[in-house]
Structure 1
Amino acid sequence: MADLLEENLQNYKTAPFDARFPNTNQTRNCYQNYLDYHRCNKTLAAKKQDLTPCMWYQKVYKSLCPINWVEKWDEQVENGSFPGKI
C-alpha cells in the first residue's frame, strides 16, 4: 500500500477532479486541502506514524492555491491566528 501511494505521488501532475467541488471556482478546494494536510500531519504525528499519506493533500493544495495565500496561511498557523480548525 505504501509503495502504491509513493508511486502515485511521484506520478502526480495536477489536482484530480474532486466531486465535493464541482464548480469552476476551486478556492474552497484549495482551502480544504490545506486544512486536510495540516490535520493529517497533526493526527499522524501524534500517533508517531509515517506522514507520507499527508503528502497527497500538500501536492493538491500547492497545485491549486496561489503561493501568497499559502505563505499567509503558514504565517498565521505559526502565529496561532489561523482562522481554520486544524
Structure 2
Amino acid sequence: MPDAEKPSKRRRPTPPFDPRFPNQNQTRNCYQNFLDFHRCVQKMNRRGKSTQPCEYYYHVFHSLCPVSWVQRWTEQIQDGTFAGKI
C-alpha cells in the first residue's frame, strides 16, 4: 500500500453503528467500507487533495474485516482482477 494510503497507527475505536447494516453479520459493512476507502483515495488523488478524510473508512474496514480478506482484495486490486467497482 503506498504511503498516501497508510493512515497513522493510532488506536482505533470500535466503528459506530451504521444503519445501512443493522444485522449482526457485518460482512457487507466490511466490504462496503473497503470499497469506500479505495474510492475516496482515488477521488482525492485525482483532485490533488489530502487523503486524510479517507482514514475513517480505513479504520472501519480494518476493525471489521479479517486480515486475510483485506490482503486478498488488495492483491486482486493490484493484479487488476478485483470484482468490486472502485
Structure having the higher Rg? 1
- Partner of 2:21 in structure 1? 21
The 8 Å contact of residues 12 and 63 in structure 2, kept in 1 or not, is answered as no
The 8 Å contact of residues 37 and 54 in structure 2, kept in 1 or not, is answered as yes
Q: Unaligned 5+ residue runs, structure 1? A: 1-9
Q: Unaligned 5+ residue runs, structure 2? A: 1-9
How many Å apart are 1:80 and its aligned residue?
Answer: 0.4
Moved over 3 A (4+): none
Higher helix share: 1
Larger mean CA deviation between 49-58 and 10-19 belongs to 10-19
The 8 Å contact of residues 26 and 64 in structure 2, kept in 1 or not, is answered as yes
Taking only aligned residues, the RMSD between alpha carbons, in angstroms, comes to 1.1
Larger mean CA deviation between 69-78 and 10-19 belongs to 10-19
Identity %: 52
- TM-score (normalised: structure 1): 0.86
Alpha-carbon distance in structure 2 between the residues aligned to 1:56 and 1:31: 14
How many Å apart are 1:14 and its aligned residue?
Answer: 1.2
- TM-score (normalised: structure 2): 0.86
Structure 2 residue identity aligned to 1:72: R
Count, aligned residues: 77
